[in-house]
Amino acid sequence: MEPALAIAEASGNRRWISLANPVARAKGLAPRQPVATALALCPELILFERDAADEQKALEEAALAALRFTPSVTFTPGGVLMEVAASLRLFGGQEALLEKIRQAFKALGLETALGIAPTAKGACLLALAAQPGTARSARPAELKAELDALPVRLLTCAQDHLPVLTGIGCTRLGDLEGLPRAGLARRFGPALLAELDQAYGKRPEPQVWFCAPERFAARLELIARVESTEALLFAVRRLTTQLAGWLVARHVALSQLTLTLHHAAWGRLAQAQTPVIVRLSQPCRDPQHLEGLLRERCNALVLTAPVEELSLAADELTLAAVPNQELFPTPQSEALTLERLVEKLRARLGPDAVQQVESRADHRPERAWRHGFSRSTPLAPVPTTLAPRPTWLLKIPKPLPVREHRPCHDGPLALLAGPERIEAGWWDDAPITRDYYIAENPPGQLLWIYRERKAASETCAWFLHGLFS
């Protein structure tokens, strides 16, 4: 059976209920109710003290995540306010945008109650009236009717006057709106009237928008010590969601990030840290991709001690290009898909597990290429030359026997093309003087062979250097 839970808030000698779950509300608990009265109604009530610092930290995390959808984000009492009119078309309409916002806040461990209205205060009141996980909206023509039906207790400036307002029969905003304005301001103060006018759109609402910090460095304390990497994934998602919003707000993309695992003291091991560095071949700010790379790296870790805290830092940044919404795939988008596949493989298998062939300015075949992987080198095929080259080059050329003045490999070879003369390497004490030929053996294989022009004798002059596919 679900227990009765409530959050208590204190100011001076007063202590009252700030929030209660449905079980507690069913037993008569209500906001602003004295704690002594609440315990008398529900002796088994479990109380938690309100932590304003943790609430503000959670709101700041939510504001960072919200910057992915709009640059106009600010705080309201107990929530986040977003101006999204200019973002609706970009994200596919109101319903699609609301679903993306829900998913982003869910990644932070937050359950949303959303309100949509032409006025900022009206949207806040509708969100306060909505059930968790739902949204309430009001178009301009519907705003007055929707607000009139809301309870007065949702107004911030009405909290200290609720007993008096209830006593005179003002339980809804419509009741309060019908009172004489001069008497309302005189008896309850101008702040209540101003809040009411802002909700109905009769008074402007200047906002101070949230500004993302210049550097991103987020830290997350885990609820319990974690001894397996799988349990870290939810916390990693919470950090990457904030990072994605910060990147969009700063108009930058990420080239390298570091996830640091802060370990608890364990046995003889003092508290230590495990850095997880992820380098990207192409700058990125997609939260799903960043989360996937960190997941692959974390799955490959072996924890030497339990983890009690995580921190995420953006190490290397570049200016982000404006995203292009494509109707059909382009070579750029296909290259981006390949880049992300390579990054995922390197995160899973290690930074040296995936390499590419890079050409070098050298005429000697064995030195004209190398293995490597560099973020500055795009993934592209090795440039072709005028003369054909084999797909498979032997690491060490294989000497070929000579019979009746013809080189042999599974039988006498027939020379089809050549010679292609290569003389190079005098500058680094590894000179070569070779004549290359394309040859065919009796089974029909095409071979790349060469004749050493300075060989001591004909029997040791021919070598197999490559095979054509």
Mean pLDDT along residues 283-312: 85
**Gap between the Cα atoms of 82 and 85, Å rounded:** 9
Range 233-249 average pLDDT: 90
Give the three-class secondary structure for 83: coil
Contact at 8 Å (CB) between 219 and 271?
Answer: no
Per-residue confidence (pLDDT) for residue 376, from 0 to 100: 46
> Each residue of 32-64: b (16+ CB within 10 Å) or e?
ebebeebeeebeebebeeeeeeeeeebbbbbbb
- Residue 251 makes CB contacts below 8 A (sequence gap 6+) with 319, 320
- Whether 360 has a pLDDT exceeding 60, the answer reads yes
What number of residues does the chain have? 469
Q: Which of 191, 263, 184 is nearest to 222 (CA)?
A: 263
Residues of the chain with pLDDT > 70: what percent? 86
Instruction: Say what the pLDDT of residue 263 is.
Output: 86
pLDDT at 430 over 70: yes
Beta strands in 227-322 (DSSP E): 252-263, 273-284, 307-319
Task: Provide the mean pLDDT of the chain.
Answer: 84
Of 164-168, 214-218, 306-310, 342-346, the range with the lowest mean pLDDT is 342-346
d(CA 209, CA 206): 10
- Quick check: 274 pLDDT over 90? no
- Fill in the DSSP letter of residue 391: S
What does the pLDDT average to over 79-89? Answer: 92
Report the DSSP pairing between strands 369-372 and 356-359: antiparallel
Domains defined along the chain, listed by start: 5-50 (no CATH), 53-200 (no CATH), 217-325 (3.30.1490.100), 392-467 (no CATH)
According to DSSP, residue 264 is labeled: P
Q: Is the pTM of this model over 0.75?
A: no
* Confidence (pLDDT) at 327: 47
The set of residues, in sequence order, having a beta carbon less than 8 Å from that of 112 and lying 6+ positions away, is: 101, 102, 105, 106, 132, 133
Residue 459: its pLDDT value, please?
61
Q: Read off the pLDDT of each residue in 285-307 and give the average, rounded to a whole number.
A: 84
